[in-house]
Structure 1
Amino acid sequence: MAELLVVRHAQASFGAENYDQLSELGHRQSVIAGETLRRMGWVPDRLVTGTLARQKQTLQSMGFKEEPDEHPGWNEYDFHDLLRVRFGGTIPGPVQNDRKTHFRTLRDTLRDWQAGGVVGARETWAAFKSRVEAAKVFATGTEAKRVLVISSGGAIGQLVAASLDAPPEQMIALNLQVKNTSMTRFIFTPRAFFLHEFNATPHFAPPEHAALLTYS
């Protein structure tokens, strides 16, 4: 059996004009995540990312310099687009800049999206599910025994929910739990795919690293 280790990107630039860049803290999170994997003796023989800058920067700061394979199915759903559509084109300031308001509103928006609402968004819920499944097939269609993927919270939440045959709303709960640089592990064969570990952060267990844990 082979392992698929899916790591959520490190902290991005919440509230900034360009969200798709790691913060300084995000780079620090990535460094210690990579160091922890190497201390554990877990060395990947295939690297995969989506196409987002924050995913690629996470992989680089983790210390893996080889050029990764790419699949856009590992990208996050476009939450900015979903929120813009919900609010008629302009995201209110508190939703954009206040974390509690943002995530409460995002949760409600995702429920509506899953139910067929947020009409006019660039991507439907069905299309999102399909591309995450395609990304899984792409990553696991390999002779590699240890595949490291850098992805995003929504894609990870959907991958876990699908592997458990959970209802759509469970994806939202999983998505909003996923910590920056957390590690979610799956076991796979040509005929099987199952969850082994969810949202683990061994690199934040030492007291000197505990304050580095973030969710966005």
Structure 2
Amino acid sequence: MSLIAIRHGQASYGAADYDQLSDTGYEQSRRLGRWLAQHAPPPARVVVGAMRRHRQTWEALSEGYASAGIELPATETDADLNEFDHRAVIDGYARGQPDDAAMFKVPADGSRPDPRTVLRGLLAALNAWTQDGVDGVPERWSEFQARTHAAAQRLHSNAGTVLAVTSGGVISQFAQAALETSNARAIELNLSLRNSAICEFHPGSDSLRLGSWNTLPHLAEARELWTYF
């Protein structure tokens, strides 16, 4: 009787198309599928966001169930589980705060940017977005909250385990509602989530309640596969 919310595997940060899994993201997802097939109850429902990285994560993850001979329900797609447009938020923030724009630049040599610098930049941009301080974005913070809360209500169930593949911003909204915490804490929760992490929620009287956060049992012996972006 729970919701298992999974953040997608590592996507392609710094590439022309972010919305696709990296080789690491596929490996994280395959390992997660094998772990879930062995240790978690088979889901009564599977709901996947409409983004490519969500679908690719599910496809890699479901290999573990197939190998174990576990039959799964038909996959549902819910676009309300899609992530906000992080690129639009970053670009809008950088236009308004040009002195901070350097934090978001990808190194010219093609290497991955310093995670600490990226984290500082994201924290600043996202907190500004929560205060309606970023112009030119396709979705306001309040609109993002409204659609993700609606998605959470549709996932709220007392009839078996629901497995949902989505993104960190969406899962952090589930947690914000469950914990009744501030926007600033919701952003911190978002940025704390690792790729392919499991977060578990349980049905409350009228909303989800947090059971566990940001666990990686499938990568316990593969610390080199722990990534945030």
Fold match, TM over 0.5?
yes
**Residues in 2 aligned to 1:94 and 1:66: alpha-carbon distance in whole angstroms:** 43
* Residue number in structure 2 paired with 1:112: 128
Decide whether the 8 Å contact of 2:45 with 2:73 is kept in 1.
Answer: no
Counting aligned pairs with the same residue, the percent is 32
Decide whether the 8 Å contact of 1:11 with 1:22 is kept in 2.
Answer: yes
Decide whether the 8 Å contact of 2:178 with 2:207 is kept in 1.
Answer: no
Q: What letter corresponds to residue 32 of structure 1 in structure 2?
A: R
**Residues in 1 aligned to 2:73 and 2:16: alpha-carbon distance in whole angstroms:** 29
**Residues in 2 aligned to 1:11 and 1:144: alpha-carbon distance in whole angstroms:** 31
Aligned pairs (5 A) from 1:64-79: 67-79=74-86
* Residue number in structure 2 paired with 1:167: 182
- Is 2:213 aligned against 1:204? no
Q: 1:19 Cα shift?
A: 0.5
Aligned pairs (5 A) from 1:1-216: 2-63=1-62, 67-88=74-95, 92=101, 94-97=103-106, 98=113, 99-140=115-156, 144-188=159-203, 191-206=206-221, 209-216=222-229
Q: 1:121 Cα shift?
A: 1.0
**Residues in 1 aligned to 2:30 and 2:208: alpha-carbon distance in whole angstroms:** 29
Q: 1:189 to 1:157 in 2, by over 3 A?
A: closer
Q: 1:160 Cα shift?
A: 0.6
Q: 1:73 Cα shift?
A: 1.9
Q: What letter corresponds to residue 94 of structure 2 in structure 1?
A: F
Q: 1:88 Cα shift?
A: 2.9
**Residues in 1 aligned to 2:169 and 2:82: alpha-carbon distance in whole angstroms:** 8
Q: Secondary structure at the match of 1:7?
A: strand
**Residues in 2 aligned to 1:119 and 1:211: alpha-carbon distance in whole angstroms:** 38
Q: 1:163 to 1:73 in 2, by over 3 A?
A: same
**Residues in 1 aligned to 2:92 and 2:40: alpha-carbon distance in whole angstroms:** 46
Would you say how many aligned residue pairs link Structure 1 and Structure 2? 212
Q: What letter corresponds to residue 9 of structure 2 in structure 1?
A: A
Q: What letter corresponds to residue 191 of structure 2 in structure 1?
A: L
Q: What letter corresponds to residue 54 of structure 1 in structure 2?
A: R
**Residues in 2 aligned to 1:81 and 1:122: alpha-carbon distance in whole angstroms:** 7
Q: TM-score, normalising length from structure 2?
A: 0.86
Q: RMSD over aligned Cα, in angstroms?
A: 2.1
**Residues in 2 aligned to 1:41 and 1:103: alpha-carbon distance in whole angstroms:** 32
**Residues in 2 aligned to 1:166 and 1:190: alpha-carbon distance in whole angstroms:** 18
Q: TM-score, normalising length from structure 1?
A: 0.90
**Residues in 1 aligned to 2:82 and 2:36: alpha-carbon distance in whole angstroms:** 23
